[in-house]
Amino acid sequence: MKNIAILGASGSIGQNTLSVIRNYPDKFKVVALSVNSDIGRLSSQIREFKPLAVCVNDRDRALALSSKIKSGVKIFSGRQGLEELVRDKRIDQVVFAISGASALTPLVSAIESGKDVALANKEALVMAGPIILRLARKNKVRLMPIDSEQSAIWQCLEGEDRGALKKIYLTASGGPLRKLNKRELKDIRLKQVLKHPRWKMGRKITVDSATLMNKGLELLEAMFLFGLAASQIKVLVHPEALIHSMVEFIDGVLIAQLSTTDMRIPIQYALSYPQRLKNTLPEIDFYKLGALHFEKPDFKKFPCLGLAYAAARRLGTFPCVLNAANEVAVAEFLKEKLKFRHIPEVSAKVMRSHTNKLNPALSDILQADAWARQEALRVIARLN
């Protein structure tokens, strides 16, 4: 029996993780849950899964929960509460399904206290990849990716000679706006952006999919997770989203990972690794499918991808700065205070005024993150 903590339990990945766990009550036990503020959903999860402890980031909502819940569950609040909760010795594995940079310090806490990690959150890794990987090695912690592309590469590399890896192909469905031209993209509205053709996800990652920043973040994520150079990673638009990524070896052999487009598959693998467990999700029907398609991404239409390659070549604090500027821009777009076409412009301007710090410590990362957020808000104020 594996004891699991799920941070970001009320979100899309969090709920999918609970749905995997529901199928295997003899293999996984939920011992801790966290949300930002959605105590309604958390209350019903407490009733169903009976965790030992929960954390609500919003302190007022945490107080409201404690007056509502009669069971003996321990309630933590705030970022520090979460950092404390993940250190609980009864937890074996922590699922990071929180969105955004706020996952970083709890991730550090989980690794320092020796917990295996199943990582859906990509922002923390983008911000501080080398630090996270060093810490994981030092504490003998396994980092199991949930993001479907990273899970694919991980599975393709299992048992292979890493020294023989030449490059990887990160596949991208192309997002909801793939077929629009530059002019149509210019004034695209929030509602259209939130309609993703392949995946049902949280709002932030859905916007990132539309700008292709999601692929840019994944490029950085893959670099850090698998120790690659930016030049070894190729982004490949693949609208059917069945090949979740591929690896190519020095002898010209490629290995691809395919599965039904459902996040429960990579989530389940990260929980059950190295075992594979049965599930009842629909199989791919190749007779019906007929063909798979591939395209080169359009860097002119989607400048975020180019920004991510630039950050990947420069490293240091650049990936963190790009992530922070993008988070701020996306948040403003979600509030309908920024136009879609300005999202990459904000990140580009913030990156232009950044002075890089190579080999940053965690404190440098947190400082660069705070600086980039302020700078992004300044840029946005000037744009509007």
Name the residues that contact ligand NDP, by CB under 6 A.
8-14, 35-38, 57, 97-100, 102, 120-123, 147, 199, 201-202, 205, 263
Nearest-CB residue to ligand NDP? 11
Which does residue 326 bind out of ligand NDP, Mg ion, none, counting CB within 5 to 8 angstroms by kind? none
Give the bridge partners for 96, in sequence order.
7, 119
DSSP letter assigned to residue 333? H
* Region of 148-156, 223-231, 267-275, 300-308 interacting with Mg ion (CB under 5 A): 148-156
Q: How far is the CB of 277 from ligand NDP (least distance, A)?
A: 20
Cβ closest to ligand NDP, residue 78 vs residue 249? 78
Q: One-letter amino acid identity for 259?
A: S
What CA–CA distance (Å, rounded) separates 286 from 363?
50
Q: How far is the CB of 219 from Mg ion (least distance, A)?
A: 11
Cβ closest to Mg ion, residue 86 vs residue 98? 98
Copy the structure tokens of residue 163: 């020294």
CB 98 within 8 A of CB 72: no
Q: How far is the CB of 247 from Mg ion (least distance, A)?
A: 16
* Helix boundaries (H) for the chain: 12-22, 39-49, 59-68, 78-85, 104-112, 123-138, 148-157, 182-186, 190-193, 203-211, 213-226, 264-272, 286-289, 303-314, 318-334, 342-352, 362-383
Rounded (5°) CA angle 169-172-177: 150
Cβ closest to ligand NDP, residue 73 vs residue 383? 73
Cβ closest to ligand NDP, residue 10 vs residue 109? 10
Cβ closest to ligand NDP, residue 322 vs residue 349? 322
Which does residue 123 bind out of ligand NDP, Mg ion, none, counting CB within 5 to 8 angstroms by kind? ligand NDP
**Residue 147 binds to Mg ion (criterion: CB under 5 A):** yes
Q: How far is the CB of 235 from Mg ion (least distance, A)?
A: 12
Q: How far is the CB of 33 from Mg ion (least distance, A)?
A: 23
Residue keyed to tokens 């991730």: 107
* Region of 145-153, 243-251, 260-268, 376-384 interacting with Mg ion (CB under 5 A): 145-153
Cβ closest to ligand NDP, residue 56 vs residue 307? 56
Residue keyed to tokens 């003996």: 72
Interface with Mg ion (CB under 5 A), residue total 3
What CA–CA distance (Å, rounded) separates 255 from 249?
8
Q: How far is the CB of 251 from Mg ion (least distance, A)?
A: 28
- For the chain, what is the radius of gyration of the CA atoms? 20
Q: How far is the CB of 205 from Mg ion (least distance, A)?
A: 8
Pairing verdict, β 2-7 and 93-96: parallel
**Residue 375 binds to Mg ion (criterion: CB under 5 A):** no
Region of 236 on the Ramachandran plot (φ > 0 left; ψ -120 to 50 alpha; else beta): beta
Which does residue 121 bind out of Mg ion, ligand NDP, none, counting CB within 5 to 8 angstroms by kind? ligand NDP
The pair phi, psi for residue 206, each rounded to 5°, is -70, -40
Cβ closest to ligand NDP, residue 103 vs residue 379? 103
The pair phi, psi for residue 298, each rounded to 5°, is -95, 100
Instruction: Give the interface with Mg ion as residue ranges (CB under 5 A).
Output: 147-149
